[in-house]
Structure 1
Amino acid sequence: MQYLETASGRRLAYNKFSGRRTGVVFLGGLRSDMTGSKAMHLEAWARRSGREFLRFDYSGHGASSGAFTDGCIGDWAEDAMAAIDALTEGPQVIVGSSMGGWISLLMAKHRPDRMAGLVTIAAAPDFTENGYWKAWDEARRKELMEEGQVSLPSEYGEPMVITKRLIEDGRDHLVLDAPLKIDVPVRMLQGTADKDVTMDVALGLLDHVEGADIRLELVKGADHRFSDPDCLGTITRAVEEVLIRG
């Protein structure tokens, strides 16, 4: 494991495998880290194929500096762009899982020159607004505004703490409120049994994004983790297809 000191003063843990380009970069989800099954599977695939690969932890995640509750979408997108700028060269294939899918779409919007292709896995664009704020009743919204945070039950372990800053910053980074054109191959992967990011989100994203080579693949019965052997194989197949077509 190595560390990158960013211009913002954050210390990001990362692991990079050097190989042939075009490289692949994995962007994880909210409260996940770079040791998750999808990141490790992709690294193993990259090593077998001799492909350059980068995985890292956002600030407040995994082995990187900072507290999770101090972060927000803008910070984590900044982390991703800092890591890609400092640790890779040329256009990359970005693989974004859940929140990482949102961040990868921000990259497509603001740094298209660094993208050779995009693979999203249960992408969760604008989830702070559409997934949390709009679904909450007035009591929950009032609690957030007065207390500065709310705790939500999570099937992945400890309660999920959602801060006022996360919600308010998310509004500055929405990608579904304006046209979004992506001129590189895009493959969107989505499980039909995903309870965290439902199929209507994936279908809405497919309808929203403009581009000449964009496809959505639904995997019947797959949940939000998208990490069983078949799903992991689907991810690498999508990455390989994007590399060929990019």
Structure 2
Amino acid sequence: MSTPILELRDIDVFYGPIQALKKVNLHIRQGETVSLIGANGAGKSTLLMSIFGQPRAAAGQILYKGEDISKRSSHYIASNGIAQSPEGRRVFPDMTVEENLLMGTIPIGMDHAEEDRDRMFHLFPRLKERRNQRAMTMSGGEQQMLAIGRALMSRPKILLLDEPSLGLAPIVVKHIFQTLRDLAKSGMTIFLVEQNANHALKLSDRAYVMVNGEIRMTGSGQELLNNAEVRNAYLGGH
């Protein structure tokens, strides 16, 4: 087995006196798509943000390509190959689509900006149509495409996605997940935090289930799809 590209070992995270993550262990190997599912408030987004040190892990190690990055700056982490598409998209509302994409190059510089922008336009044709439009005037689905495109502009080794389907119409969700499937087939390593367990598990090689800040279950995407406990809790019993 190859060494994981990303590994969390016994991670504890606190918000003041409240412990949000408790002894979390998980790993992701190069080229894998791994998802983290769980109820709202389970600690999934906290885990994703803690990889970037916001909030910092109070205990444990976050290893990226073997290096402990748990005390490193967010800029260091981003410039070394980890990119995040955050919950709520957080595009720059007054900037155009093209300007938003170019903001994604900040961690690595502009050497490949034109080439990568054209790649994003190929991946998301809607962004090319809207390239001179301000982000605030776009639909939620278009903004989600933009947030993913912006993250990919830093040429990441691993892409972190926080709730990419949140608040989107089913047809848009289907399109977003097809794009993620295409990225996975191209070799991109993906770590996906998602409430839509059905879509997430179908996409994933492996998955973890989080309950109250703890990892309670792990297995292949298919194993968890077939698990009665997971089906009842997160898939409406189907």
TM-score by length of 1: 0.31
> Greater RCO between the two (CA within 8 Å, min separation 6)?
2
Give the structure with the higher percent helix. Answer: 1
